[in-house]
Amino acid sequence: MKQICVKYAFMMMYVFFETFSSFAQEIPKDSLFEISFEDLMNMEVSSGTKLLQRAQEVSAKVTIISYDIIQKRGYNTIEDVLADIPGFQFRNIQSINSYVFGRGIPNQNNLILVLIDGVQINELNSGGFYGGAQYNLDNVERIEVIYGPASVVYGTNAVSGIVNIITKKPLTSQGVDVNAHTGSFNTQKLQLGYGYYNAENDFGIRISGLKKYSEKGDFGGANCLHNWSDSVYNFENDMSFDTKLTYKSITIGTNYLRKQSSANLYYRTQGTQYREGESLWNIGFLNSYVTYNVKPSSRFLFTHTSYYRNSTLYPNTIAHIVDTSQIRYYRPNYLIGTELVGKFTVNDKFSSIGGISFDYENLAKDYSITWSDSIIYMPPKPPKPVMIENYSTNGFLQLTYAILPQLEASAGGRFDYNTSYDFVYTPSGSLIYKAQMYTIKLLYMEAFRAPKPWDYNWGEGNHSLLPEEMHSMEVTSNFVVAKHVMVETSIYKNRFYNMFVKNNTNTAWINADTINLIGLEAELQYLRKRFQSYINYTYLHFYDFKDNTLEEIAPHTCNAGITYMPTSNITAHVRCNYTSKKVNANILYPQVDDACVFHAKLSYIVQQSLQWFIDVRNILNTEYYHTSNRNVTAYRQPQRTVLIGVTWHLL
Amino acid sequence: MKKSFHYILLCVCVVFANMQLHAQTQEYIVKAVFIERFARFIEWPPESKVHNTAKPFVVGVVGENPFGTELERLYNQQAIKNKQVDILYISDYKNIERCDIIFISKSEQSKVHLILDYCKSKPIVVISDIEKSQSMGVHITMGMQHNKVVFAINDKAFEKSACKVDYRLKQYAVQQK
């Protein structure tokens, strides 16, 4: 392994030198100001200078949430963002994790691919993404949510959709910025950021750090109806650090996320033998990447990215404590990979995008566990677990042809080989009609989710698991129906094969029967300068061969919000998230009631660079729950939380 | 498998690294230069801060930035209306009023009407390369024809605006269908 790393490093250095030396050939752009108007108009140009972004090449419904929207609406976590757009539901375990169900498929958080600056941040051992407050939304330029299967371009895990978090660039976020808030349940946040850009050398750097702490709610005693006493404690302690260095077309970045939380609420619901204090779930994610793009001719554009990913459950994790013992976990994982993506434009009508990638992953076979026989003393540090090495080779190609100026057809396929799950082939196809005021897309997409060590080895283990597969047909449209009114609709039919479920004895994952899903999403936006509003609705209908309703998923969800700016200094925002009744997988609590939860934010700009705000979450203190396969009351959702804060930006 | 993986990786990187880059003029470099050219032929009203020599000339990019770093590099030394140029990347539309010219990028296609609301009755010239954005009320629309940058002028939008366009610029403009 060491030998591979050394050779790999040499190769990267060589590639950099080649790239750097080529920049010397650029023409002096300042002289463009000296030429005549006629010459400027007659200058032949090549199109597209921006970095090739694969997410934008996926033929699918895309929703973009800009930093401006995040600020105006007071989104604090990635769940806040997703809860307000169509198609997402949650099972929020208040302590360890939050499960996100995209387009109605219950799962272990591993059907949605989360990317930061184009590099996956999903946990390596399970393929799942960790919800929570550890994402630094103050350092986000925008979040792109791509709906539906996208494995042709992204491979495993891109089943329900992709959440692509794009962090701020040095060029567009210069100066110092500070974001802080404090409020109920001992909630505190501090974010510091700094951006510098030198136009002469085309060099920039952006650094941002975040620290957050919250006890999130009062879950003790009478506030909840389960096993918790008044002394139960619950916290989430998050840290995040982003760096981005740009030099010409090279970007070097690092994103580090760390989430520490108590595991009390989770284990205590399973029995009163679990103690209520001192547990710690401590997980960290580190992504480092180097990416650069080259345009060897006017028709070719290439982006090459090399990345290192690490997701480790740190060895000071204390999962749970009982009267006679404690249990300590350790699970390290890392991955090194490189990918080359290229776009070739043959002519005005025909273009193609393709790529190849190679990954080496080193994953823990299972948790390494140590025990102590005391409630007081921590167990010794767990040894390094048995590690599994996997290699994967992937390639994809997507061809696009403009049949008419407004009508585009595209077809693609992807081939994946992995030493763990072998070969997978994924096809896709689409027809897109683009007019001035509307776009209609007809999509056929497939996707897969490959089993990971966590799936193969959980409980008694099952090494014959097949990849989960999704086949999806969708019609999505976007209309500007009037000057300020936009309507977006999607109707889709999904067929989900080989879904992972636990066996009858709850001792291993097995592949289940096919599930069918019909979904409808509709959104209406009314956007004026001082008044902006939106309402969206999602309907989901499941049927299997017995026409059973799927547990955990509400058939109806609806979100609505209004942002009003009475003066240029004041912004007021109110929104509401509605979830209808849903079936729960527990005999004692067979149903979870519907709920309508209101949130609001009021901001006041003192000076151009200084803003105060008050953010009230769950204004009416609505008591609501999410589903679980245990008692419903184990999943009480956040109570009324009042935050006051400040945003300051100094150029 | 380990060895073959390694060799494939090596080959891809070496082949890729040896691709020769060559100089060329990119679409958005020319579009960035056009912004200065347009300003030469536009007259801002007397009350506009364009006439305040103490303040920089502000070009705003609304939405996803298609210029990369080119605007900064080009206008680092180059003046517009004999004034230093500040580039403002706008995600909060309230900042539009700080600009003298704004460029609406393609990412904001569905929000052009909203952005124009922010410019109403203000001495701001609106440029975009969104197809047919002229019919939505944008002052100048840039486009591509046979690998060359062309532009169309929206007379009606200028009539409603406090900014006036010189007839000489119209001579170079194409008529948009």
B66, A11: Cβ pair inside 8 Å? no
Contacts of residue A67 in chain B, CB cutoff 8 Å? 91
Binding-face residues of B in 78-137 toward A, CB within 8 A: 78, 89, 91-94, 97, 107, 110-111, 113-114, 117-118, 120, 131-132, 135
pLDDT at A205: 97
- On average, the pLDDT of chain A sits at 86
Contact A605, A611 (CB under 8 A): yes
Contact A616, A641 (CB under 8 A): yes
pLDDT at B21: 36
Question: 3-state secondary structure string, A132-184?
Answer: CCCCCHHHEEEEEEEECCCHHHHCCCCCCEEEEEEECCCCCCCEEEEEEEEEC
pLDDT at A94: 65
Binding-face residues of B in 6-25 toward A, CB within 8 A: 6, 8-10, 12-14, 16-25
A19, B93: Cβ pair inside 8 Å? no
Containing structural domain, residue A299:
2-650
The string of pLDDT tens digits covering residues A130-176 is: 888 899 999 999 999 999 998 888 888 899 999 999 999 998 888 99
Q: Is B131 exposed, middle or buried (0-12, 13-18, 19+ CB in 10 A)?
A: middle
Q: Mutate which of A15, A21, A37, A531 to disrupt the B interface (most B C-beta within 10 Å)?
A: A37
Cα–Cα distance measured from residue A434 to residue A492, given in angstroms and rounded to the nearest whole number = 20
> Does A6 have pLDDT greater than 60?
no
Cα–Cα distance measured from residue A536 to residue A522, given in angstroms and rounded to the nearest whole number = 6
Q: What is the mean pLDDT of residues B81-107?
A: 90
> Does B170 have pLDDT greater than 80?
yes
> Does A489 have pLDDT greater than 80?
yes
Q: Mutate which of A32, A169, A295, A564 to disrupt the B interface (most B C-beta within 10 Å)?
A: A32
DSSP for A348-407? SSEEEEEEEEEEEEEEESS-EEEEES-SSSPPPPPPPPPEEEEEEEEEEEEEEEEEETTE
Going A315 to A317 to A321 to A327, the CA torsion angle's sign is negative
Q: Is B68 on the interface with A (CB under 8 A)?
A: yes
Q: What is the mean pLDDT of residues A502-510?
A: 87
B148, A14: Cβ pair inside 8 Å? no
List domains and CATH numbers for chain B. Answer: 23-170 (3.40.50)
How far is the alpha carbon of B13 from chain A, nearest alpha carbon, in Å? Answer: 7
Residue labelled with tokens 């959104």: A523
pLDDT at A207: 97
Which of A27-36, A353-362, B1-10 is the most confident on average?
Answer: A353-362
Which of A26, A200, A204 lies at the smallest CB-CB distance from B76? A200
Side-chain-side CA neighbours of residue A403 (13 Å): 9
> Does A326 have pLDDT greater than 80?
yes
Contacts of residue A303 in chain B, CB cutoff 8 Å? none
Lowest mean pLDDT among A83-97, A363-377, A628-642: A628-642
Cα–Cα distance measured from residue A294 to residue B16, given in angstroms and rounded to the nearest whole number = 10
The string of pLDDT tens digits covering residues A295-307 is: 787 778 889 999 9
How far is the alpha carbon of B48 from chain A, nearest alpha carbon, in Å? Answer: 19
> What is the DSSP pairing of strand B57-62 with strand B85-90?
parallel
pLDDT at A285: 96
pLDDT at A630: 64
In chain B, which residue's Cα lies nearest the Cα of A37?
A: B37
Q: Is B177 on the interface with A (CB under 8 A)?
A: no
- The band of A222, judged by pLDDT with boundaries at 50, 70 and 90, is low
Query: Going along A460-569, which residue ranges are E strands?
Result: 468-482, 485-497, 500-502, 509-511, 515-527, 531-543, 556-567
Going B38 to B42 to B48 to B52, the CA torsion angle's sign is positive
pLDDT at B18: 41
Q: Which residues pair with A372 in a beta bridge?
A: A326
Residue labelled with tokens 């080359």: A340
pLDDT at A18: 43
Sheet holding A62-66, edge to edge: A62-66, A140-147, A161-167, A112-116, A119-120
Cα–Cα distance measured from residue A79 to residue A133, given in angstroms and rounded to the nearest whole number = 8
Task: Please give the share of chain B, as a percent, with pLDDT higher than 70.
Answer: 85
Contacts of residue A171 in chain B, CB cutoff 8 Å? 65, 69, 72, 89
Q: What is the mean pLDDT of residues A90-114?
A: 81
Q: Which residues pair with B148 in a beta bridge?
A: A44, B145
pLDDT at B125: 96
Which of A89-103, A180-194, A508-522 is the most confident on average?
Answer: A180-194
B78, A33: Cβ pair inside 8 Å? yes
Residues in chain A: 651
B27, A49: Cβ pair inside 8 Å? yes
pLDDT at A293: 85
B70, A141: Cβ pair inside 8 Å? no
pLDDT at A211: 97
B5, A391: Cβ pair inside 8 Å? yes
The CATH number for A49's domain is 2.40.170.20
pLDDT at A634: 67
Which residue type, as a one-letter code, is found at position A444?
Y
Lowest mean pLDDT among A289-303, A470-484, A629-643: A629-643
Q: What is the mean pLDDT of residues A283-309?
A: 90
B148, A44: Cβ pair inside 8 Å? yes
The more confidently predicted of residues A376 and A367 is: A367
pLDDT at A513: 79
A48, B114: Cβ pair inside 8 Å? no
How far is the alpha carbon of B92 from chain A, nearest alpha carbon, in Å? Answer: 5
Contacts of residue A488 in chain B, CB cutoff 8 Å? none
Contact A254, A287 (CB under 8 A): yes
Contacts of residue A8 in chain B, CB cutoff 8 Å? 9
Q: How many CB atoms lie within 10 A of CB B115?
A: 23
Contact A362, A391 (CB under 8 A): no
Cα–Cα distance measured from residue A477 to residue A481, given in angstroms and rounded to the nearest whole number = 12
**Global pTM value:** 0.84
Whole-angstrom distance between the N-terminal and C-terminal Cα of chain B? Answer: 59
Would you state the structure tokens that stand for residue A76, as one six-digit string? 């604090």
- The band of B23, judged by pLDDT with boundaries at 50, 70 and 90, is very low
Contacts of residue B59 in chain A, CB cutoff 8 Å? none
Cα–Cα distance measured from residue A395 to residue A414, given in angstroms and rounded to the nearest whole number = 6
> Does A484 have pLDDT greater than 60?
yes
Task: Please give the share of chain A, as a percent, with pLDDT higher than 90.
Answer: 49
Side-chain-side CA neighbours of residue A216 (13 Å): 27
Binding-face residues of B in 38-57 toward A, CB within 8 A: none
Q: How many domains does chain A have?
A: 1
Of residues A473, A469, A475, A474, the one with CA closest to residue A496: A469
B73, A296: Cβ pair inside 8 Å? no
Cα–Cα distance measured from residue B139 to residue A383, given in angstroms and rounded to the nearest whole number = 68
A419, B1: Cβ pair inside 8 Å? yes
B89, A358: Cβ pair inside 8 Å? no
Contacts of residue A345 in chain B, CB cutoff 8 Å? none
A49, B29: Cβ pair inside 8 Å? yes
Would you state the structure tokens that stand for residue B111, as one six-digit string? 């929000």
The string of pLDDT tens digits covering residues A40-67 is: 888 776 654 334 555 556 678 889 898 9
Question: Does residue B14 sit in helix, strand or coil?
Answer: helix
- On average, the pLDDT of chain B sits at 83
Going A18 to A24 to A30 to A31, the CA torsion angle's sign is negative
Cα–Cα distance measured from residue A93 to residue A234, given in angstroms and rounded to the nearest whole number = 11
> Does A16 have pLDDT greater than 90?
no
Side-chain-side CA neighbours of residue A408 (13 Å): 20
pLDDT at B4: 54
Which of B13, B24, B37 lies at the smallest CB-CB distance from A46? B24
Residues in chain B: 177
Contact A100, A131 (CB under 8 A): yes
Would you state the structure tokens that stand for residue A454, as one six-digit string? 């966590």
> Does A110 have pLDDT greater than 80?
yes
Which of B16, B22, B68 lies at the smallest CB-CB distance from A340? B16
The more confidently predicted of residues A429 and A274 is: A429
ipTM of this predicted complex?
0.79
Which of A26, A38, A391 lies at the smallest CB-CB distance from B2? A391
How far is the alpha carbon of A140 from chain B, nearest alpha carbon, in Å? Answer: 11
Whole-angstrom distance between the N-terminal and C-terminal Cα of chain A? Answer: 46
Of residues A573, A642, A568, A574, the one with CA closest to residue A605: A568
In chain A, which residue's Cα lies nearest the Cα of B136?
A: A483
Cα–Cα distance measured from residue A60 to residue B119, given in angstroms and rounded to the nearest whole number = 32
pLDDT at B42: 94
